[in-house]
Amino acid sequence: MAKIQTPQPVRGTQDMFGETEERFAHVVATFERVRRLYGFKGLQLPVIEPTAVFSRSLGEATDVVSKEMYSFEDRGGDSITLRPEFTAGIARAYLTNGWQQYAPMKLSVHGPLFRYERPQKGRYRQFHQIDAEIIGAAEPAADVELLVMADQLLKELGIDDGVTLQLNTLGDTQSRDAWRAALVSYFNDHRDVLSEDSLARLEKNPLRILDSKDPDDRGVAYAAPKIDDFLSAEASDFFAAVTAGLDAAGVAWTRNAALVRGLDYYRHTAFEFVTDRLGAQGTVLGGGRYDGLIENLGGLATPAVGWAAGIERLAMLLNGVGKPLRTASIVVEIDSDKLFSVAKQMEKRIRKEGMPCGIISEGNPKKRFDRAKKLGTDYILTLNENADGSFAFGVKRNVLDRYKTTGRLNVALKFYLRDVFGVSPTDWRVVSHGGGTLKLDK
């Protein structure tokens, strides 16, 4: 008989469990809380879109469209793509639902995205992002709002340490085009020193030479023409307004004139929060203004700005998952229906008080304690029977109460112990806070 081969997971996907999952959930929960503080509305969007949503919005970035999207034909012969980003889908929803009527819109989403790439540190084929966008707002205050929110989010996650906000402007269309032309001619004059990769970039995506990692390119890139020399008065004022807004809000930033975007629809502000703690994938949150995108999708020229951040990367940077909930295990030491029913009632009250709790009553007594210890619960409550038929109720505390949550256990069982067993709340208070054993008379 042939052995059944267990199917393997799809490359670049992950199964999250335990601490990994808790970190992930913490990032999402924090984002959901913070985005509300700034008045961003939530969105739920399809994971699949017509391929045109992305191929049209991404425009000339042929590598990205042809090689790095998960696309397939459905049974009707339509080309469908698993969303590789949020922005294009949001723009499509904005247009097809007539959301112009609500402009300017502050929107947020999170969920899975798919890119057919080689997995590496902090980079998966199915990955997850949080995303925030402001559509229909042309003023620099929108950029500032988004950045202030991002800054607060990173601070609340406790990962702002070692993370810096790098900021640049790509100018408006005229500025950007003039700068790009100057760069092409400059790099053409220095072909001899450019790396092989950068010679290819010169044809396809010259701006990208500026942030090349190749040491050969560094010198030329550093001396390359600067956007500042090509900025129109309007573009210059816009950027000044953004930086002034950040300063006023107390958000630290550094100028990175080499920070660029590969796609043509980006204008003005480009930014990345960067860390040195994630190897080659240093960007923790990135975005910019994409005033040209909605036109690419057939809409009226609509200003928009937004950012996205990889949840996995944020989760990796998390130092802890926040304030832990105190937990309890009830060990019923011997098999007894009466003890089990007492345990059940205690468990219910403890849970109702918001403290996770479970009963352990399988295996020999030693195993029960081993299991309770292994669960790492903060309190182990024991139930046994004394020789005289009364119950012995023990409380063992496994942790120092750094978070002042001792009260919960006390409150959960206070009246139960008093009403059913006549235990005085004072005696119970001592035991629940310091540990010890109580005799429960029926």
Partner RNA sequence: GCGAUCGUAGCUCAGUUGGUUAGAGCGCUGGUUUGUGGUACCAGAGGUCGGGGGUUCAAGACCCCUCGAUCGCCCCA
Q: Using DSSP bridges, classify how beta strands 328-332 and 379-385 pair: parallel, antiparallel or unpaired.
A: parallel
List the structure tokens of 377.
């619960």
Nearest distance in Å: CB 399, RNA: 8
Q: Which long-range contacts (CB under 8 A, 24 or more apart) does 435-439 make?
A: 435/395, 435/396, 435/397, 436/394, 436/395, 437/392, 437/393, 437/394, 437/395, 438/392, 438/393, 438/394, 438/395, 439/386, 439/390, 439/391, 439/392, 439/393
- Nearest CA to 193 out of 172, 171, 223 is that of 223
> Is 58 near RNA (CB under 7 A)?
yes
Q: Using DSSP bridges, classify how beta strands 267-275 and 163-169 pair: parallel, antiparallel or unpaired.
A: antiparallel
User: What is the layout of strands, in order, in the sheet containing 41-42?
Assistant: 41-42, 105-114, 126-135, 304-310, 283-289, 267-275, 163-169, 254-255
The answer to the question of whether 118 is labelled as a binding residue is no
184 vs 241, beta carbon nearer RNA: 184
Q: Using DSSP bridges, classify how beta strands 105-114 and 41-42 pair: parallel, antiparallel or unpaired.
A: parallel
> Is 51 near RNA (CB under 7 A)?
no
> Is 394 near RNA (CB under 7 A)?
yes
> Is 261 near RNA (CB under 7 A)?
yes
> Is 93 near RNA (CB under 7 A)?
no
The answer to the question of whether 19 is labelled as a binding residue is no
Nearest distance in Å: CB 384, RNA: 3
Q: Which stretch binds RNA (CB under 7 A): 17-25, 44-52, 102-110, 274-282?
A: 274-282
Nearest distance in Å: CB 254, RNA: 19
205 vs 406, beta carbon nearer RNA: 205
Among 2, 3, 276, 400, binds RNA (CB under 7 A): 3
List the structure tokens of 8.
């393997």
**Whole-angstrom distance, CA of residue 271 vs CA of residue 178:** 21
Query: What Cα–Cα distance (Å) separates residue 292 from each residue in 169, 173, 307?
Result: 15, 9, 16
Q: Is 322 left (phi over 0), alpha (psi -120 to 50) or beta?
A: left
Nearest distance in Å: CB 148, RNA: 21
One symbol per residue from 98 to 127: x for binding RNA (CB under 7 A), - otherwise; what is it? -----------------x-xxxxxx-----
> Is 5 near RNA (CB under 7 A)?
yes
- Nearest CA to 381 out of 421, 352, 419, 342 is that of 342
> Is 50 near RNA (CB under 7 A)?
no
The answer to the question of whether 14 is labelled as a binding residue is no
Nearest distance in Å: CB 351, RNA: 21
Q: Which stretch binds RNA (CB under 7 A): 4-12, 250-258, 344-352, 400-408?
A: 4-12
Roughly how many angstroms between the first and final C-alpha of the chain, as a whole number? 61
> Alpha helices of 291-390 — where are they, by DSSP H?
293-296, 311-317, 337-352, 365-375
- Nearest CA to 393 out of 347, 332, 349 is that of 332
The answer to the question of whether 23 is labelled as a binding residue is no
> Is 216 near RNA (CB under 7 A)?
no
> Is 59 near RNA (CB under 7 A)?
no
> Is 85 near RNA (CB under 7 A)?
yes
> Is 87 near RNA (CB under 7 A)?
yes
**Whole-angstrom distance, CA of residue 142 vs CA of residue 106:** 9
Among 382, 406, 417, 440, binds RNA (CB under 7 A): 382
Question: Which residues in 150-179 contact RNA (CB under 7 A)?
Answer: none
With beta carbons less than 8 A apart as the criterion, state whether 42 and 109 touch.
Answer: yes
> Is 324 near RNA (CB under 7 A)?
no
> Is 433 near RNA (CB under 7 A)?
no
> Is 212 near RNA (CB under 7 A)?
yes
Nearest distance in Å: CB 276, RNA: 11
The answer to the question of whether 222 is labelled as a binding residue is no
Enumerate binding residues for RNA (CB under 7 A). Answer: 3, 5, 8, 11-12, 54, 58, 61, 63-65, 68-69, 84-85, 87, 115, 117-122, 197, 200-201, 205, 208, 212-214, 261-263, 279-281, 286, 333, 363-366, 369, 373-374, 376, 380, 382, 384-387, 392, 394, 396-398, 435, 437
